[in-house]
Amino acid sequence: MPNGFFRNRQVYTGNSVVSRISAASRCFVFWLVILVPCTALNGQTGGAEFLRLGAGVRALSMGGAYVALADDPSAAVWNPAGLARVAGLQGYLSHMTVFSSQASHNFASGSVEINDGLVLGLSWVRLSVDDIPRFSALQGSRYDRLRDRPEWRSDGASEGVFRSVDDALFFSFARRFRLELLFGQGLTPVAVPVDISFGMNMKLIRRALDVASASAQSLDLGMIISLGSRTTGTGRQQSLSFGISVFDIAGSRMNWSTGSDYADPLPMRLVAGVGLTRALPGRNNTLALSVAQDVLQLQLPRLGVEYQIGRVLALRGGYRATGWSAGAGLNFGKVMLDYAFSTHELGATHRVGGGARF
């Protein structure tokens, strides 16, 4: 085999190798065709801002720096390519109250491995705000209410309450290719394991505010490249990973049922990141470091760290533009429990979540 060429880890016959490499190459070229136009987009906000809160307690405790490390069912929200690194059948649930308990955020996700490297996923995100006071429009001008018509002034009492609900449903597909990059000459070249994962989300988004509602469909794409990847005793991958996600590439708009022509845009968003996972001295201990940046927004990058102690305990921390975060995770065989705490100018947040592997 020529120096510097890819080969499959398990199948060494020429036809199989060429087939695997060709499939990965086609996905890579397709991904670039989608990615390159996105670099010219601006960072405008739009109708699905609630999805920027993220989901999954592990990711949130690491500051949301998860685009290159995603490897659990919450990957659909951060980088759909990460679902290709989820083995077997897994499910996850999380709950948190945000903005000084004014809003409730819920997340549920499940993924199933169809065969080695092919994974399907289904995820649901909801942000809801209950008991929003309702006030009717004031009559007259401010001058009228102050001088001539005091009966038009508001007494501060609401006329009732209404609710705001934002929902997003993700249908995800991810594929993983395991290859080896050969360096050196002769019969014993150095083989560097390379994993390339691709993922796609088809999203249904719906927003409801009192009696008005809006909906849209959208599409996300993601890719993760891991170099020197191998499984450690904790089940994590020891590797250097590069991840990138493009959200809402369809450029959809959310049309409201108010009878007007107003529509909320769903602007594209590009997030890139790097992650490093290394084994540490001790039995099954690993350290993961990650950084992620929203390329189209001028803000500080997200930073994350996780120290995995054996197979049971994980300690995590992170930073993002809205504040600091910290958390921990416990694994009891096939059951996992997670907790995270984060600061925010609108109030600190506690997050809890759990899942199971089957």
Tell me phi and psi for residue 85, to 5 degrees: -100, 10
> What is the structure's pLDDT at 254?
87
Q: Is the pLDDT of residue 92 over 90?
A: yes
CA distance 191 to 349: 45
Q: What is the pLDDT of residues 10-22, one digit of tens each?
A: 333 333 333 444 4
Query: Are the beta carbons of 106 and 94 closer than 8 angstroms?
Result: yes
Q: Is the pLDDT of residue 128 over 60?
A: yes
SS (H, E, C) 31-96: HHHHHHHHCCCCCCCCCCHHHHHCCCHHHHHCCCCCCCCCCCCCHHHHCHHHHHHCCCEEEEEEEE
Q: What is the pLDDT of residues 224-264, one digit of tens each?
A: 999 876 554 445 557 899 999 999 987 788 888 887 777 88
> For residue 101, what are its two tokens?
């308990």
> What is the structure's pLDDT at 5?
38
Bigger pLDDT: 164 or 140? Answer: 164
Bigger pLDDT: 35 or 345? Answer: 345
CA distance 98 to 345: 11
| Weakest mean pLDDT among 59-73, 307-321, 341-355 | 341-355
Q: Is the pLDDT of residue 2 over 90?
A: no
Bigger pLDDT: 11 or 329? Answer: 329
> What is the structure's pLDDT at 90?
94
Strand partners, 7: 180
Query: Tokens 């690993």 identify what position?
Result: 286
Q: What is the pLDDT of residues 305-325, one digit of tens each?
A: 999 998 899 999 999 988 899
What does pTM read for this prediction? 0.79
Q: Enumerate helices (H) and strands (E) in the chain, giving the number of each.
A: 4, 17
